[in-house]
Amino acid sequence: MTRFLATTGLILLIARMSFAQQVTVQQPVVSTFGGATTVSVPDRGWTHLGSVNSARSGRVTTGPFRSGSSLGSELTGSSMSVGVTIHDLHAMDEAILAQGRGGEVADDLQPYVARLAARRNGAGEVPVAKAVDRTNHVAQAAKFEQLARDAEARGKASLARLHWQMAAKHGSTVAPTRLASRR
């Protein structure tokens, strides 16, 4: 009878055991890196600031006579870049308010009004010719020419090149020849 009870207990013990299915939980791997730097980026431009790449691999050999092996490898990469878009919110507000009043819209606000109308009509972004204010462009060109000369005096060739490009954009007659001589 003891044998029967022991066998019955074993059967009851087996009957009470439960089997769980295997569950794998994969959590994301998050890494961060940063850089402390200063860059000059023009409006609607972008630049690559840096990258971090790494690789690692491993191999495990097991068993008699080293008959079994496992190989694993991992490659990771991260990069950092910056893009710049300058929004003149004051001018955009003026354009919206002037359009709502039904009043006269200044020439320098016309591009914003045209873009607003295009977006409302579903046409998306359309190129609009800006009214050219020559006095402002001449002053801007002179300012960038001076900044370029100052950068050259400090030995900052790449910064000087950016200032010469901006001066050329604003109509400088000196900037194109300076840029051509630097090539």
Looking at the structure, do residues 127 and 154 belong to the same domain, yes or no?
no
- Mean pLDDT estimate for the chain: 77
Residue 12 forms part of a structural domain: no
Residues composing the chain: 183
Asked if 72 contacts 89 with a C-beta cutoff of 8 angstroms, the reply is no
- In this prediction, residues 19-32 reach a mean pLDDT of 78
113-145: per-residue pLDDT in tens? 677 667 666 655 444 444 445 667 788 888 999
Q: Residue 86: its pLDDT value, please?
A: 83
Amino acid 175: pLDDT: 87
Residue 5 above 50 pLDDT? Answer: no
63 within some domain: yes
Residues 55 and 80 in one domain: yes
Total tally of structural domains belonging to the chain: 3
The whole-angstrom separation of Cα 170 and Cα 165 is 9
Q: Exposure string (b/e) for 42-74, b if CB count within 10 Å is 16 or more?
A: eeeeeeeeeeeeeeeeeeeeeeeeeeeeeeeee
Does residue 57 have a pLDDT over 70?
yes
**Residue 6, domain member (yes or no):** no
Residue 155 in domain = yes
pLDDT at res. 102: 67
Residue range(s) defining the domain that contains residue 102: 87-131
**11 within a domain of the structure (yes/no):** no
Does position 167 have pLDDT exceeding 60, yes or no?
A: yes
Q: Is residue 100 part of a domain?
A: yes
Percent of the chain with pLDDT over 90: 11
